[in-house]
Amino acid sequence: MCSSQTTGNHKIKGTCPYGCSGRWSGGNGRCNIECPDTKWGPYCNNTCGQCRNNDSCSVNEGSCPNSCKPGWIPPLCVHECNDGYFGQDCNYTCGYCKNELACNKETGECETGCMPGYKPPVCSQNCDRGWYGDDCRKICGKCHNGGICDHVTGNCPDGCEAGYQGQNCIQRETITLLFRSRACGFPHRVT
């Protein structure tokens, strides 16, 4: 079926100089093949991509009228987002996925977990204050003056609060005192 602009002699000859209407297609200027919703091209021999809302693609170019489903590259929507990108029109950058693997192309979630220091499931934000490590499951130690530990390693950049020691300030300090016993006259050790 020709577009509504076709008149006169063209209709008699069966040619469509202004293109086909709806889902009609065909070669040599004729619109004698009706394409199913999932096909496009002169002989309906191309398959539509992953159109948003399961829309039908354009019968002439194969493009999706309202873009793609999340995770697919417009306008044809036949290729997934490149590694490192996800979402609607592949406009979002993946977070810090464990082992530097690609995120889910539709949702951006890191299916293998996050690199240390980042919050699941998308792994694009640092751990919340007071937490660090793999999937932010470790609690920070006692940093000096209530400081924040490093979100990746748990180290306290300004040292430990009094009474704590070690790289992550989680070990209690032991204090050794020496005193003289009045009865015996020699030093005793107390820890």
186 occurs within a structural domain? yes
Q: What is the pLDDT of residue 99?
A: 93
Structural domain that includes position 133: 126-191
3-state DSSP helix/strand/coil percent for the chain, to nearest 5? 10, 20, 65
56 occurs within a structural domain? no
pTM recorded for the entire structure: 0.69
- The count of structural domains within the chain is 2
Query: To the nearest whole percent, how much of the chain has pLDDT over 90?
Result: 61
Rg (CA), the chain: 34
Classify residue 96 as left (phi > 0), alpha (psi -120 to 50) or beta: beta
Whether 113 and 170 share a structural domain = no
Q: What would the pLDDT profile of 23-37 be if each residue is shown by its tens digit?
A: 777 776 778 888 888
> Positive or negative, the Cα torsion across 125, 126, 130, 131?
positive
More confident of the two residues 19 and 137? 137
Q: What is the pLDDT of residue 167?
A: 86
DSSP structural state of residue 67: B
Neighbouring C-beta atoms of residue 84, cutoff 10 Å: 14
> pLDDT grade, residue 179 (50/70/90)?
low
3 occurs within a structural domain? no
